[in-house]
Every structure is written in structure tokens, then in C-alpha cells.
């Protein structure tokens, strides 16, 4: 070292490597390979989730209680194993999230109460028109309706109804766990948060194409109608998936997307055509317009990250060497 003299020391100081993103510093693969690993991991999760529905051979339709119970088992197994896919992705890419795996997947206590209430309130505001339509078409008044909703017998019937459990509990929980909590942490370092909001729902939308198989199998309609229905379902499930992905990123919690998913499953797609022909069409359409307007007005304030504490996905991007995304503030 002494033989090098001053020039040698200056050469060593100049040639010192600059600070690299953490994924590179940890010896992980390049960005291109990281993206391929992320996409392949998400595709594997989507295929595993849908494939688990068909491991049971049965001639019965999907709404039969026996079929639903079997699918509960397989879907819960796949969903329980899905966090290990995120762990494997972390090892393959060398990216260190800076938080625990459960926190990264939205299981945390910080800000949990606003995360449970505000996204659901925002979604109910969006469905103001359909909620008005539901109340107009209901024969009972508000007091009687609340008595039915709060009655223990009503909940007991729901908890023994396999279709209700599937639509309101199992499907929202497992789908949000797999398609949001597991996929978004893997996609975000590759695409960034903004593109991930729109990339992640594509896996969610494609996963719903399996309904074509059952509809063709039981000949529930013509081939053209089934394909058209599947294309429509893909469109609105992709839009809904983008919305819940947005909620997951902005709140850093899984509970909000799950509750919103359950609510939307209960409400179904808004019956706009029925609203146009409704006897009280004008106030009903005004409710539809008001709901959409208030939703757009309140979308940013009610999902302000300051209400929910630190955002795990934003921490992940910082650790991976990315710049702060607009969704993080």
C-alpha cells in the first residue's frame, strides 16, 4: 500500500463503488430477473388458488353444499400456504422488506380501527344508489330491518348457510389474502406501486374465468352468452381488484379490502337497468349520481396514509432502492 504513494491512494478513493440499492447490495439478482420471479410467483399463486377448486371431482354444481365444503378445505389450505410463496420470493430476490412478513401482508394493529371502518364507509357511499334501491324495494321499514339484522337467529342461519359463508367470509378473506396481501408485496418492487394497482387485478380477473368451465359443463346458457358474461365479469372484477389494491396500499391493512369485498359480494353489481325503470327513478338516479360524486370527492381524504400509520409497502420500496411513490403520501 505504501509503495503506491499518494496517486495510488487517490485512485483507490476515486474507484470506490457508489452506494447501490439494497437488493443489489444483498447480492440479489438484477431487476429483470426480480420481475420475472415476481410475475411467475403471482401466476403460480393464481393457478394454485383456482386449481384447488378442482381437485375434488364431482358431478354436482358449484352451489351444492357438499361442493362448497370441499372447496373450503382446498382453498383454505392454499391460502394458508401462500405466505410461504412470499418468503420464497424474498429469498430468491434478496429484497429485505424491513418489516415482518405479517406486517407486510397487512396483519398489524397500528391504525386498525380506521382501516376497518373508513374503507367500508367509502364503499357504502359509492353504493348509495343501490342501497336506496334496496330500501325502496324492501317491504319492511328501517326498524324492522335492523331487528332482523341484529337478531342472533339471523346470524345463526347465516353461519349455517354454506353459500353465505362462501360469499361473505371465505371468498373475501382468501382472495384478498392471496391476490392482494401476497401478490402486491412481490409486484411493487418490480413495477412500482402505481402500476402494481392495475397489474395485480389482472391475475384476480383471469382467476374468475374458471366459471366458464362450470357453465359450459352444466349448459347453463349458450356458448356466446357464457363468453360474454365471462368477459363482463373479468372487467368488473379487474376494476374491483384495482380498488381493493389501492385500499391495501394506502391503508397498509388487509381488513379494509376484506370487509369491502364482503360488502360488494352481498350487494352484487348495481342494477342500473332496474333503476332506470323504477317507479321512483328520479330520486334513485340522483342517489346513484350523488354516491359516485361523494366517492370521488372522499377517496383521497378517507384513504390518507396519515390515518393509518406507516405503510409497509412504502417501506419495502425504500429498502429496495425505489423512490417514494405518490400513493405513499
pLDDT, tens digit (0-9, with 9 covering 90-100), for 225-279: 777 877 787 888 889 999 999 999 999 999 999 999 999 999 999 999 999 999 9
Alpha helices by DSSP H, listed for 22-161, are 22-25, 31-52, 65-93, 101-104, 112-126, 128-137, 142-150, 152-159
Residue 329 carries which DSSP code?
-
> In the chain, what are the domain boundaries?
31-320
pLDDT on residue 24: 38
Between CA 220 and CA 297 the distance in angstroms is 41
Of the residues 175, 176, 253, 261, only one is catalytic, namely 175
Is 261 one of the catalytic residues?
no
Measured CA to CA, the distance from residue 169 to residue 329 in angstroms comes to 31
Long-range CB contacts for residues 285-291, cutoff 8 Å, separation at least 24 = 285/129, 287/128, 287/129, 287/131, 287/132, 287/133, 288/128, 288/129, 288/130, 289/129, 290/128, 290/129, 291/125, 291/126, 291/127, 291/128, 291/129
Residue 6: pLDDT band with limits 50, 70, 90: very low
Query: Which member of 64, 208, 211, 278 is catalytic?
Result: 208
Q: What is the DSSP letter of 218?
A: T
Contact (Cβ atoms closer than 8 angstroms) between residue 74 and residue 56: yes
End-to-end CA distance of the chain: 49
Is the pLDDT score of 8 beyond 60?
no
pTM: 0.85
Is 208 noted as a catalytic residue in this protein?
Answer: yes
The values of phi and psi at residue 16, to 5°, are: -65, 130
Amino acid at each position: 500500500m505504501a509503495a503506491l504513494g499518494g496517486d495510488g491512494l487517490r485512485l483507490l478513493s476515486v474507484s470506490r463503488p457508489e452506494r447501490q440499492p439494497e437488493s443489489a447490495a444483498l447480492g440479489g439478482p438484477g431487476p429483470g430477473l426480480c420481475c420475472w420471479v415476481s410475475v411467475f410467483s403471482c401466476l403460480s399463486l393464481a393457478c394454485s388458488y383456482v386449481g384447488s377448486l378442482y381437485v375434488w371431482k364431482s358431478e354436482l354444481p358449484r352451489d351444492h353444499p357438499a361442493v362448497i365444503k370441499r372447496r373450503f378445505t382446498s382453498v383454505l389450505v392454499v391460502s394458508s400456504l401462500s405466505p410461504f410463496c412470499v418468503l420464497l420470493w424474498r429469498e430468491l430476490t434478496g429484497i429485505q422488506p424491513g418489516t415482518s412478513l405479517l406486517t407486510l401482508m397487512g396483519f398489524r394493529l397500528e391504525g386498525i380501527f380506521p382501516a376497518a371502518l373508513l374503507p367500508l364507509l367509502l364503499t357504502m357511499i359509492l353504493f348509495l344508489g343501490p342501497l336506496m334501491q334496496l330500501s325502496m324495494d324492501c317491504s319492511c321499514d328501517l326498524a324492522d330491518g335492523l331487528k332482523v339484522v341484529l337478531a342472533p337467529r339471523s346470524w345463526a342461519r347465516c353461519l349455517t348457510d354454506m353459500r353465505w359463508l362462501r360469499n361473505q367470509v371465505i371468498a373475501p378473506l382468501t382472495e384478498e389474502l392471496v391476490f392482494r396481501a401476497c401478490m402486491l408485496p412481490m409486484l411493487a418492487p418490480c413495477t412500482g406501486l402505481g402500476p402494481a394497482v392495475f397489474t395485480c387485478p389482472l391475475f384476480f380477473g383471469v382467476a374468475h374465468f374458471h366459471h366458464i368451465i362450470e357453465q359450459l359443463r352444466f349448459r347453463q346458457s349458450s356458448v356466446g352468452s357464457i363468453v360474454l358474461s365471462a368477459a363482463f365479469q373479468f372487467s368488473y372484477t379487474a376494476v374491483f381488484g384495482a380498488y381493493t389494491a389501492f385500499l391495501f396500499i394506502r391503508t397498509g391493512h388487509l381488513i379494509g379490502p376484506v370487509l369491502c369485498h364482503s360488502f360488494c359480494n352481498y350487494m352484487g353489481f348495481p342494477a342500473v337497468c332496474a333503476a332506470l325503470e323504477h317507479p321512483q327513478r328520479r330520486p334513485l338516479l340522483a342517489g346513484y349520481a350523488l354516491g359516485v360524486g361523494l366517492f370521488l370527492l372522499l377517496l383521497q381524504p378517507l384513504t390518507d396514509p396519515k390515518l393509518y400509520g406507516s405503510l409497509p409497502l412504502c417501506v419495502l420500496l425504500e429498502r429496495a432502492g425505489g423512490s417514494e411513490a405518490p400513493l405513499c403520501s
